[in-house]
Amino acid sequence: MYDENELQLDCSTGHTAGGEKGIPTLRRLQIDPLSGNLDDMSRLKALLYFLFIAACAPLVVSQSEPGPGPGQREIQIWAGGGHSVPGGTQHTEAFDAGFRYGWVITGPHWPGILRGRFEYVVDAVPVYLIFQPANTAYAGGFNPLGLKWNFERRGRLSPYLELGGGALFSFHNIPTYTNTVNFSPSAALGVHILSEKYNWSVEARYLHISSAGLGYYNPGLNTVQVRLGLGRFFRPKP
């Protein structure tokens, strides 16, 4: 296993403290298989999902309208995870969980299959776990920009398309040897499964994590995730 603290990169010379060239060393780090105790990692993930389901219990309450409708609000707790894909750092997994608040701003617009309602959402993300070859990085963040288009309902199904962005702050560099401050643009396609009491959401999300050039080395991290959410739409009291 490579230790971020044992290998230092001299950016001015391109060599490590041991005299080896820095860039090949970084590449070797990226292509090494994910090391560490996989059983412990699996148990950690299982525990996090259990805590997520337990935290969802208070949301299982009655909602006056299934939604999403104009003037309604959305609250949700969610968790997701996925694996790195080509285009950035490899052999990395990500898990995140957070809370959402949204405002359905408009009534139905556009014709045909595009017809739907616009919603603005924000997320607080207290849990980011990035499982890297060198270490497991913990981070927290927030997503102040969430542009969500809720297509017309099809029975109990309410599909949506979403674009978002935010920032995260970590205790270790993400990816290794880059930066502890990163930005997190994303795109998602999902569906709400509505009921009279609450709704589930299931979505596929593409998440990009990058320092946007704040650090000397910036390979970025691209992941495809599956995210599950439990929440409700409601109309605030006048």
Determine the residue type at 174: I
User: pLDDT for 74-103, tens place per residue?
Assistant: 999 999 999 999 988 999 999 999 999 999
- Provide the strand spans (E) within 152-212: 157-170, 181-183, 186-194, 199-209
Q: What is the pLDDT of residue 238?
A: 75
Q: What is the pLDDT of residue 113?
A: 92
- Whole-prediction pTM value? 0.72
Cα gap 136→127, rounded to integer Å: 13
Cα gap 202→68, rounded to integer Å: 15
User: pLDDT for 19-56, tens place per residue?
Assistant: 444 434 333 333 343 444 445 556 555 555 555 554 44
Strands 93-104 and 181-183: unpaired
**Residue boundaries of the structural domains of the chain:** 1-32, 38-234
> Which region holds residue 232: left if phi is over 0, alpha if psi is between -120 and 50, else beta?
beta
Q: What is the pLDDT of residue 218?
A: 86
Contact 161, 151 (CB under 8 A): yes
Q: What is the pLDDT of residue 46?
A: 57
CATH: 3.30.1600.10, 2.40.160.20, 3.40.1710.10, 3.40.50.2300. Which one for 38-234? 2.40.160.20
Q: What is the pLDDT of residue 172?
A: 93
Cα gap 88→182, rounded to integer Å: 14
Per-residue pLDDT tens, the chain, 238 aa: give them: 444 444 343 434 444 444 444 434 333 333 343 444 445 556 555 555 555 554 444 444 444 456 788 899 999 999 999 999 998 899 999 999 999 999 999 999 999 999 999 999 999 999 999 999 999 999 999 999 999 999 999 899 999 999 999 999 999 999 988 999 999 999 999 999 999 889 999 999 999 999 988 877 889 999 999 999 999 999 988 7
